[in-house]
Every structure is written in structure tokens, then in C-alpha cells.
Amino acid sequence: MIICPMDLKQLTIDKYETREELILNGIWKGEIYKNVDLSTRNGRGWLWKTLVIDGEGDMEEIVEVPTLTEDHEQSPQPKVPKGQKDRGIRRLTPIDVKRHPLSSTGIKQDDRAVEDDDTTMKEKLEIIDLDLSRLMLDDIFQEKEVHNEMRKIMYNYLIRRSDDCSYKQGYHELLGMIYLQLHEDKQMSMENKGTELKNILFIFEKLMKPMAFFYNENQLIKWENKVFQPLLRTCCPKLYGIICCDDNHTNLLWLLRWTRLLFMRELPRDYTLVIWDHLLTFLYPADTFVACVVVVLLLNNYKVFTEEVEDHDDLVELMLHFNSRMRSMIDCVELCKMAGKLCEYWYVQDAQSMKTLSDNFLKIKFNVDRDFEPDGTVDPNRIRIEEKLRRRVKQTLLTSSKDSK
């Protein structure tokens, strides 16, 4: 039986005595998804507040966005939290950009980010306004009041950061998804509205603390080489050979969007939000969990890669249109469970358990056995070449058979 969101609070109180029980049993064992419809607005918002926010005592007040003129230094400036600096913002696209840099058509050489560390606060807000004006997650983002609230939250997020606080395109989409879950349609007092905005900012900061990692290209390259690729090679050498063995090309074209937007473009929204539930409650480093989620998604579409990808162009096309090219979906809770197990094995360096878990998954779903060399090592390039040859021979035979008829 699915319980409506208004009963979520009572169900949680009745069933789980502690937040830890809610996380372990409700989220990671999937109990709450069987009993509650979280797709209705505010259902997940209440859940996230319960999971993430201890109380309002440590939450700073939201400051207003200053009215800035061309003469930035003469404009009234907001109070920046003690010990922090008002730092620059890196512009990813010019103001007159015609195509969104995270669009499904990919990133072309001429569309790469224009970095400018000396932008003024006025320019920062102009870029944020531009991004918010084309945010298409929901119609409410076209409302002036919602736009201004999102602008205020993003402004406060930037001035609070003590490390690199540069704004990057993609931040607004992540914030927009959180806003949708916590936003109340009903009229509320200024005090309650202030509390709502503080809650949204708090959860956004919670999510971005580990995820901002992916917005640094050097760190993303290092993550791909040190975490993602070794994980994939251990779990499935054949997929590793298809995806990672071409030294003349990079996977950053698709990894940028997969990681920075946390699967928002690759998976259905309800599916993505379940991953976010797990991400917000995961004990291991979030970047490793994201890598494991990607690996499980690839394993679940093993046949698509082995049958349809012949070169790097095919791969990029598939990865940038993953939502429409998937042949099947694994249950999202099961995906997160498997990704969580891979993380645990990764951190105790138990490669054999990672291999066994992945092999069993492929055997059950596709009746596929791992390919080994006689000495026990894997040659991904050989596997890839042989697979391509088999596909071509098969196609030739089919063509010959049709011609003979």
C-alpha cells in the first residue's frame, strides 16, 4: 500500500525510532519507497529535512542580494560571514551564449568555458540570472518571485564558501531540483519563508560540499584515472576495453554532465532523486559512490555497449543520450545497494568481491561470463577487437543470406 505524503511524517515516527534506523532501513533497505509516494511535492522535502537538518540553531540567516551599479565599489555590500572572503566567479559562457554547455548535443571545441576570475559581483549575478531564466525543470522557475528566491539562495551560497567559490553552470540545476522538493505553494509568513530558504540552502550546501569536486576539471580527470577507471576495469574488463582504452580520446565529454548534474539528464527524475536520497545519507566519500553508480548503470546496459558501440563517436553518442538508449532499468534501490557494496569493497581493497558481485550480476541478467586470458590477465583491446570482428562477420552473413533469397 502506498501512503500519501501527508502521512509520511506519521509513518516515519511510528516505524523508525532514530534517524539512523530511517537511513538504514527506510532508505538503504528501501522500506520507505514501498510505503510512501515521494513523487508528490513536499513529500521528499520533508524527508530530506529529517535526514539532513539537525536543527536551525547552526543555520545562518539569509542575507539580501545587494543592488549593484556599474560602479561596484560604491554599491552597498552584504556582510560576508566571518573569516570568509567575497571571491570571484568563473564565467563558463558569455552572456550571449546560444547553446547551453551541458546540452545533449555535447561540448564542441568552440563552446568551451571562458574563464574570468576577475568578474565583478554584478557580472556574477548577471550570469546567474541568465542561467535561471533558462531553467526548464518546472514552470515555477519562470515566476519572478521564484527566480528572485533562487537568486538569493545562490548568492548566499557563493559568499559563504571559504574555498573556491566560483560559480559554475550546473549549480543552478542542482539547486533547482532541491528547491522543487522543499518549495511550498501556499502563502506563508516572512518568517516561515525565511526558514524555507534556509532549509533549501542548507541541503544544497550539504550536497555541494562533496559534489563541487566534480566542477574542477583537474580533479575530475584525476578522479577518472584513479577511481572510475580502476573500478570499471575490476568490475568488467570488457566494458573497460570499450570505454577507456582509446588513448586518443577522452571521456570528459560525457563524464562532465553525468557527474556535475548527478544523473539529472541521464535518468528519469524520480529515479535520480532516489540516488540523491542515498547520496545524502552515504557514509563513504560521495565521489566514490558516484563512480560506483556509473559502473552499475554501465553493467546494467552491458549489451548496448557490446552490440552498438564500435568506436569513440558511438560511445559519446550513447552516453549523451543515455536516457533514450537504455534497454532496461535496474530497480533504483537495488542499484544504490550494489553501488554501496562496491564502495565498501573498494575501500577495503577487496577486488575479488568486486569481481564476484559484478560477475554474478552479468551472469544473472545477461548470461555472460568474464573473459580471461590464459595467464589470468585481461587484454581489453583484444576483447574489443574480437567483439567488433564478430559483429561484422555476423552482419556479413546476414547480408549474404538475404541476397541469396
Contact 79, 63 (CB under 8 A): yes
Q: Which set of grid coordinates corresponds to residue 399?
A: 547480408
Residue 320 is predicted with a pLDDT of: 94
As a whole number, mean pLDDT of residues 265-283 equals 95
Contact 354, 346 (CB under 8 A): yes
Residue 134 is predicted with a pLDDT of: 95
pLDDT tens-digit readout, 160-190:
886 666 889 999 999 999 999 999 766 777 8
Residue 227 is predicted with a pLDDT of: 97
As a whole number, mean pLDDT of residues 45-54 equals 90
Q: For the chain, what is the mean pLDDT?
A: 82
pLDDT: which is higher, 213 or 3: 213
Q: pLDDT category, 55, cuts 50, 70, 90?
A: low
Residue with cell string 547520496 = 279
Q: How far apart are CA 265 and CA 102, in angstroms?
A: 9
Residues in Cβ contact with 334 at an 8 Å cutoff, skipping those fewer than 6 apart: none
Residues in Cβ contact with 128 at an 8 Å cutoff, skipping those fewer than 6 apart: 151, 154, 155, 167, 172
Q: pLDDT category, 30, cuts 50, 70, 90?
A: very high
**Amino acid present at 353:** S
Q: How far apart are CA 364 and CA 359, in angstroms?
A: 9
pLDDT: which is higher, 380 or 2: 2
Q: How far apart are CA 138 and CA 168, in angstroms?
A: 21
Residue 380 is predicted with a pLDDT of: 53
Name the DSSP letter for residue 405: -
Q: How far apart are CA 177 and CA 181, in angstroms?
A: 7
pLDDT: which is higher, 40 or 102: 40
Instruction: Give me the sign of the Cα torsion angle 150, 151, 156, 158.
Output: positive
- 390 has pLDDT over 70: no
- 105 has pLDDT over 70: no
- 192 has pLDDT over 80: yes
- Give the angle 226-229-235 at the CA atoms, nearest 5°: 125
- Tell me what percent of the residues of the chain surpass a pLDDT of 90: 57
pLDDT tens-digit readout, 56-71:
556 888 999 988 665 4
Q: How far apart are CA 405 and CA 399, in angstroms?
A: 10
CA-nearest of 241, 254, 280 to 388 is: 241
DSSP string, 116-127: -TT--HHHHHHH
φ and ψ of 211, to 5 deg = -80, -20
Residue 103 is predicted with a pLDDT of: 46
As a whole number, mean pLDDT of residues 227-251 equals 91
Q: Find how far residue 396's CA is from the centre of its chain.
A: 41
Q: Name the 3-class secondary structure at 86.
A: coil
Top-confidence range, 150-164, 297-311, 383-397: 297-311
Residue 101 is predicted with a pLDDT of: 41
Instruction: Give me the sign of the Cα torsion angle 305, 307, 308, 313.
Output: positive
Residues in Cβ contact with 132 at an 8 Å cutoff, skipping those fewer than 6 apart: 141, 147, 150, 151, 154, 172
As a whole number, mean pLDDT of residues 376-383 equals 52
Q: pLDDT category, 245, cuts 50, 70, 90?
A: confident
- 104 has pLDDT over 60: no
Residue 87 is predicted with a pLDDT of: 42
Structural domains in the chain, CATH included, are 5-52 (no CATH), 72-208 (no CATH), 216-400 (1.10.472)
Q: How far apart are CA 102 and CA 121, in angstroms?
A: 24
Contact 214, 356 (CB under 8 A): no
Mean pLDDT is lowest, of 35-49, 216-230, 380-394, for: 380-394
Does pTM surpass 0.85? no
Residue 20 is predicted with a pLDDT of: 94
pLDDT tens-digit readout, 108-147:
333 333 344 456 778 889 999 999 999 999 999 999 999 9
CA distances from 372 to 181, 364, 375, 379, 382 (A): 47, 19, 8, 8, 11
Dihedral of the CA atoms 330, 334, 340, 344 (nearest 10)? -110
As a whole number, mean pLDDT of residues 148-152 equals 97
H or E element in which residue 393 lies = helix 380-404
Residue 9 is predicted with a pLDDT of: 83
3-state class percentages of the chain: helix first, strand second, coil last, to nearest 5: 60, 0, 35
Residues in Cβ contact with 113 at an 8 Å cutoff, skipping those fewer than 6 apart: 90, 91, 92, 93, 101
Name the DSSP letter for residue 139: G
